[in-house]
Amino acid sequence: MWFQQTLRTDVGFTLIEMLLSLLVFNIVMLLVVPLFYYSSIDLMSKEGIDIFEWEVFVQQWKDEVRLAKTAYVTSSVLVVEINSSDHISFEQYGGILRRRVNGLGHTVMLQKIADVTFEIHSAGVSIHVIDREGKAHHAYCNFLNQEVSL
């Protein structure tokens, strides 16, 4: 038998192979580049209140205040009476703002705070929070029940 060496003409890449390798490269870059971006920026402040945490707190706080039948402030503690048996209090405890139901429990509502004050108004309640960076945050909530006793 005679061995013949055939001349191969397929030593390069085909168009499909090039497109597949480009697709794989793009997928890898789509996954890697955002990691560098998010690792280089600081999304949360080290000492201050995160804006997303503040928004969630305000929504939860407003939900409680809107249901109030009675609301009063005693020594910087906001007490909201939902019904005759449930009293919800919001108070500063160290560097956090906590929520307690009937004097029990310890739900952390907001972190990294330096000072909190509540004010009762004729139509609602306002909260003023100063975080550890000295930045002030304010929120106001109207009572849904217009017959709220203060």
* Nearest to 116, CA basis, from 97, 89, 139: 97
Whole-angstrom distance, CA of residue 146 vs CA of residue 141: 12
Q: Is residue 130 one of the residues assigned to a domain?
A: yes
* Shared-domain flag, residues 30 and 81: no
147, part of any domain: no
On whether both 58 and 85 belong to a single domain, the answer is yes
Asked if 98 contacts 78 with a C-beta cutoff of 8 angstroms, the reply is no
Residue 13: CB atoms within 10 A of its CB come to 11
pLDDT tens for the chain, residues 1 to 150: 566 666 666 666 788 888 999 999 999 999 988 887 777 665 554 678 888 899 999 999 999 888 888 888 988 899 999 888 889 999 999 999 999 999 898 999 999 999 999 999 888 899 999 999 899 999 999 887 655 555
Indicate whether 90 belongs to any domain.
yes
Same structural domain for residues 67 and 31?
no
Tokens describing residue 147: 């017959």
